[in-house]
Structure 1
Amino acid sequence: MPKPKKSIAELKATGSYRPNKHGRAEDMPDLPVEAPRMPHFVSVDASEYFNEIVALGVNMSIVTKADSLIIGLLASEIAEWVELDAYVKTEGFMVKLPTATGFMQTTVNPKIRVRDDKLKVILKMLGELGMSPAARSKVTVNQKDKDQKSALGEFLAAATKRMNA
């Protein structure tokens, strides 16, 4: 598991900050964690998934208002995947389709491939949002949020104060 990246403040505090190496990270915008508004294109079916993803992202401190578009697209993809999965379950994995000569031939349901392609897109988008295990290992959370939300954070803050005193 890779070591999580230190924030600019941590690098400066430890004396390991190098402007030529870390300078671009300092110029990145630091947006506050906020629940984004639902885009207008999100369907009624997908709105449930949108709200669930936003709630998870806010709890993980990784979602900002700027993420509304990608979360809306992700929610729409999930809603379409659920619909395709329901079709596959009702129609079955094998369906009868007419051939060019008019005979009925049993073949694999073509919706399975579309459903699986949607799943690949969903997993990629989850990774972009930092909601997959591999992506979470790369996400840096504000030190302030870490300290306030966890018992370990409280312990580390107390230990740091004690060492500095």
Structure 2
Amino acid sequence: MIPMGRKAKPAHLHLLEGSKSHRSNDELEKRKQAEEDMNFKDDAVRAPTWLRKEAKKHFNKLVKEFKGSGLLKNVDVNALALYADALLDYIECTRTVEEEGFTIEQTNKAGATNSIPHPLLTKKKQAFDQMSKLMGEFGLTPAARASLARNMINEVKEDDEGNKFGGRV
């Protein structure tokens, strides 16, 4: 796995908070304009055809929750579908493990029978990891929503002397 740095902070936040980086205000203004120019449409947010029927229900439920927020765009459809698909995998793994138990009997090459952890526990963990990552991206946890709220600050307050500073939530 390749180590990754921090996620890029939107330029308007750098400008509001005062840049602690090496970027000039002119560079940040240009970046802010470029970010604003990437105004994606939200007129075709529908579950992809490849998504399983039960996962589509989860997808559509989330789309309703996002309605009016302005956060969900057409380009986000596949990522949200991946979340819904991973959620369905997680649910199915949970149901199967509940029915079959946390361990299963396995016969090795020597003919001995051993009790091993259910193989779907690994699949369940993978689905959980995928969901957790996407939940953070979409603000589907309280902590992720708090972070999104901080990042969406666009109100600039003026102090008594007329100097501008960034408001904080």
Q: TM-score, normalised by structure 2?
A: 0.67
Write the letter of the residue equivalent to 2:83.
L
Q: Which has the higher helix share?
A: 1
Q: Tell me if the contact between 2:136 and 2:144 (Cα under 8 Å) persists in the aligned partners.
A: yes
Unaligned runs of 5+ in 2: 1-8, 17-23, 156-169
Q: Is 2:66 aligned against 1:57?
A: yes
Write the letter of the residue equivalent to 1:27.
A
State how far apart, in whole Å, the 2-side matches of 1:7 and 1:31 are: 18
State how far apart, in whole Å, the 1-side matches of 2:153 and 2:60 are: 23
TM-aligned CA deviation for residue 94 of structure 1: 1.6
Deviations along 1:110-131, one digit per CA (max 9) or x if unpaired, are 2112101210111001112232
What percent identity do the matched residue pairs reach? 20
Structure-1 residue corresponding to 2:132 = 123
Change (3 A) 1:33 1:25: same
Structure-2 residue corresponding to 1:154 = none
SS of the residue aligned with 1:138?
helix
Write the letter of the residue equivalent to 1:25.
K
State how far apart, in whole Å, the 2-side matches of 1:120 and 1:21 are: 34
State how far apart, in whole Å, the 2-side matches of 1:138 and 1:116 are: 25
Q: Tell me if the contact between 1:95 and 1:108 (Cα under 8 Å) persists in the aligned partners.
A: yes
Structure-1 residue corresponding to 2:104 = 95
Map 1:5-24; keep pairs closer than 5 Å: 7=12, 18-24=25-31
State how far apart, in whole Å, the 2-side matches of 1:115 and 1:60 are: 31
TM-aligned CA deviation for residue 40 of structure 1: 1.3
Structure-2 residue corresponding to 1:110 = 119
Deviations along 1:42-73, one digit per CA (max 9) or x if unpaired, are 11111111111212222544211221111111
TM-aligned CA deviation for residue 35 of structure 1: 6.4
2:53 to 44, 48, 62: 44
SS of the residue aligned with 1:31?
coil
1:27 to 34, 48, 60: 34
Structure-2 residue corresponding to 1:158 = none
> What is the number of equivalent residue pairs in this alignment?
135
Write the letter of the residue equivalent to 2:110.
T
Unaligned runs of 5+ in 1: 12-16, 147-165
